[in-house]
Amino acid sequence: MPPPVLEIQNLSISFATSNGELHAVQDVSFKIQPGETFGLAGESGSGKSTLAYAIMRYLPSNATIQGGKIIFRDANLLEKREQDLQKIWGNEIAMVYQDPKTALNPAIRVGHQIAEVLQIHRDLNEPQAWQHALNLLDLVNFADPQFNARKYPHQLSGGMQQRIIIAMALACDPALLIMDEPTTGLDVTTQAHIIELIEDLKIKVRSSILYITHDLSVIAQVSDAVGIIYAGQLLETGTAEQIFTKASHPYSSGLLRAIPDLDPKKPFKSIQGYLPDRTRPIPCCIFEPRCDLATERCRVEPPPVYQVAENHFSKCFRWQAAGTWRDEAAVSAKKLRNTQDRQTLVAVEQVKKYYGDSHLYERILGIEPSVVKAVDDVSFDVGSDETFALVGESGCGKTTLARCMVRILDLTQGRISFLYPKAQNGGHKFDRELRRKNQIIFQHPDSSLNPFKTIGAILGRPLKLYGVARKDRRQRVHALLEAVKLDRGYINRFPKELSGGEKQRVAIARAFAGNPQFVILDEPVSALDVSIQAAIIDLLLEFKATRKITYLFISHDLSLVRHVADKVAVMYLGKLCEIGDIESVFGPPYHPYTKALLSAIPRPDPPQGKRSIRLEGSIPSAKNPPPGCRFHTRCPSKIGEICETAAPAFQAIHKNHLIACHIPLEILQKEASII
C-alpha cells in the first residue's frame, strides 16, 4: 500500500478563553490514503473544523498545538515556515468552505477569481488562465461557463456558487481537498447535485478528500472511510460500510438513530444532553454523561481504543453491546398524530404575492410590468390541530407565503382567512388577537433574537405585549424555560452565550409565550445538528400534543416531513404542483417534481448503485416564469408541446390527493415506489 497522503498523529489543540484553557482536539489520529474520501462526522463544537484549520495552519492566535504531528507527503506541516506553506496552500492542499458567500469576493467576477489562482500557482498568463478556468467550470458541471463565468457571486444561486468554490479548489490539482460542510444549508436537489459532483470528481481527479459534516446521510454517500468525533476525541473509525452497518460506539449509534428516514417505520430519537465543558479535566469516558450503556467503569476510567475488525476501531469499553443496541423507547412521530377529521382553521384562497413596480418606459409603452411572481395563485386549507407541510426548493415561494400568512407581508391578491371560534374579522382588537394566535419561528435564531437583550427580557416582551401583569411575568418566563428544557439560569444570559440548539429553544419559547393556536415553522431545524434537530422536533411535537397547536411546517427535508406532517403541499416557482395527505404524496403516483425531490434525499446507507433523478438546469426566474407548466424546462417526463403552452389543471387521484400535471393519470399510477 502506498504511503498515506495525510496522517494525523496524536494531535492535541487548545484555545485560551476567558473561562480557562479549552481542549478542542485531544490526541486525534487518522490517515487518508491516496484517492480516498475520509468522512469526519460529529456535532457542532466537536472539533471537526478545528482539525481542518489546523491542517491548513489557519488556527487563530489564541490556539495552541499542544502535541502531535500533521504529516503531509512525508513532511510535518507543523514544522513548515509560512513561505513554504504559501506554496502548499491552494496548490497541494485546497479547501472548500461551508458558506460560498463569504468565501467569494463579491467585487470580482467568478471566472476571474478562479483564473487568479492559476496565475499565482501555475504562472499562466491571463488568456491561458481564463481558458483553464472555463475548463474547470466544465469539469464541475457549471451551466454555460462562457456566459456565467463573467457574473458576480450575487448573480448566482447557492449551488452555482458552491461549484465555483470547488472549481477554484481543484484549479491546481491538489493532492488533498478539504471540504468543510459543503452542502449544509442547500436544498435537497442542489445537495444531490453536489454529492454527485463529488462522486464524479473522485473518478476524474486524483485528489484525496477530507469531507467534514454533521450529516451522516451525506457521509454515507461520499465516503470510503469514516471517523466519528465527539468533544475533540475520535471515538470510532472504520470503513463506511462498517460504521453504517456495524456501529460500535454508542455515540455513532445515537447519531444514526437521530436521522429521520423516509421509511416511517424507522423512528428517530435525539441524543439527550449536551457536549461537556472542556475547560475542565475529564478523567473518564467523555461521552459517559449522555450514554445509556455507561457503567461505573466508564465514570472513573478513560477507555482505550479497541480493534473491532480490520480497519475498524472504537473507543468504548462496551463496543460489543453498542453494535447490537436498539433503543426500544424510540417511537415514530406518526404514532402521536390525531388522525380524526379536522375542521378548517386557516384557508388560503388564490393568494398572489408579487414584488416590484412598473418602470416609466413600461408604462409609456404599455408593457406588462416585470414583477417577481413569488407566490402565484396558491390555495389550500389547514385543519385544526394539524401539521401541514410546505416543501420545495429554495426560492419557490415557501417563506414568502408564510410571511403573508402572519401579515409581515401584504397580499397582492387573494385572501387568507383564520376561522377561529368567536373571531370577528376587522378592527384593532382583532388584529392584536390575531397576532397573538398566529406566531412564526424562523430558520436562523441568530438573526431573530435581539443580541443586546437577555433571555429573560426576550421572553418577557411578548408577555408584556399580551397583557400579562408585571408581577406574574417572571414566573411565566420560568415556566416557558422549563417547557423548552432550559433551566432558570438562562434568564440572565445573552443569545451569544447559547448554542444553536439552545437559541432555537428560546425562539420556540417566545413564539409560545402568548399561547398561540397556529404556528409557522420556517425551516426550524435545517441549520442544526441531527441530534439537536431530533430534540427540537420532540419538543415541538410535545407542544402540539399538550396545547393542541396547528403547525405550518416549511422544509426542504422530506425525510423529516414524512415523520411530522399530516398533509403536505409541494411548491415550485410560486405554484403548487401536488397536495395531499402524507401517505398519498409519499407513494405513487407522483408528480415528476415530487418524485425528483424524493429520489434526491441522501439516506444513511452506503450507496448501492442508486442515483437520484437529476433535474438539469436551475429554477427559472420568478420574474419571467415559463409558460405552460412551470416545471417543463426541467421535467424529465415532459410529454410534449402541451406542457410548454398550457398550465396543467389538478387531477384528483382521490379525495385527499391532487396532482397538477398533463401526464395521464393511468400512466402516473403505473409508477413504482422509489422509497
Nearest CA to 613 out of 589, 629, 597, 630 is that of: 597
Query: Is the confidence at residue 328, as pLDDT, over 50?
Result: no
Q: Give residue 620's pLDDT.
A: 83
CB contact set of 556 (below 8 Å; sequence gap of 6+): 187, 188, 391, 392, 393, 394, 523, 526, 597
The residue ranges of every structural domain in the chain are 6-34+41-82+217-322, 333-420+549-675, 423-516
Nearest CA to 195 out of 179, 174, 214 is that of: 179
> Rounded mean pLDDT of 57-66?
92
pLDDT band at 333; cut points 50, 70, 90 = very low
Give the bridge partners for 225, in sequence order: 38, 239
Integer angstrom CA distances of residue 194 from 158, 165, 199, 480: 11, 12, 9, 41
Half-sphere exposure in the Cβ direction for 218 (13 Å, CA): 31
> Residue 153 and residue 107: Cα distance in Å, rounded?
8
Q: Give residue 225's pLDDT.
A: 96
> Rounded mean pLDDT of 542-571?
90
Farthest CA pair distance, the chain: 83
CATH number, span 423-516: 3.40.50.300
> Residue 668 and residue 58: Cα distance in Å, rounded?
53
**Which residue stretches of 440-572 are H helix?**
445-448, 455-465, 470-483, 500-511, 530-547, 558-564
pLDDT in tens, 418-448: 887 654 455 455 577 788 889 999 877 778 8
> Residue 296 and residue 101: Cα distance in Å, rounded?
48
DSSP 648: P
The three cell numbers locating residue 92: 497541494
CB contact set of 87 (below 8 Å; sequence gap of 6+): none
3-state secondary structure of 313: strand
Sign of CA dihedral 253, 256, 260, 263: negative
**Going by CATH, does the domain composed of 6-34+41-82+217-322 fall within 3.40.630.30?**
no
**Residue-level length of the chain:** 675
Half-sphere exposure in the Cβ direction for 274 (13 Å, CA): 11
Fold agreement between 333-420+549-675 and 423-516: yes
The three cell numbers locating residue 502: 439552545
Which secondary structure element, helix H or strand E, spans residue 52, and what is its range? helix 48-56
> Residue 166 and residue 103: Cα distance in Å, rounded?
11
CATH number, span 333-420+549-675: 3.40.50.300
pLDDT in tens, 120-177: 888 899 999 999 999 999 888 787 888 889 999 988 877 788 889 999 998 888 999 9
Query: Is the confidence at residue 25, as pLDDT, over 60?
Result: yes
Half-sphere exposure in the Cβ direction for 503 (13 Å, CA): 22
E-state strands within 342-432: 344-355, 372-383, 387-391, 413-418
pLDDT in tens, 242-263: 999 999 999 999 898 888 888 7
Query: Is the confidence at residue 337, as pLDDT, over 50?
Result: no
pTM for the model stands at 0.84
DSSP 89: B
Q: Are 490 and 450 in contact (CB under 8 A)?
A: no
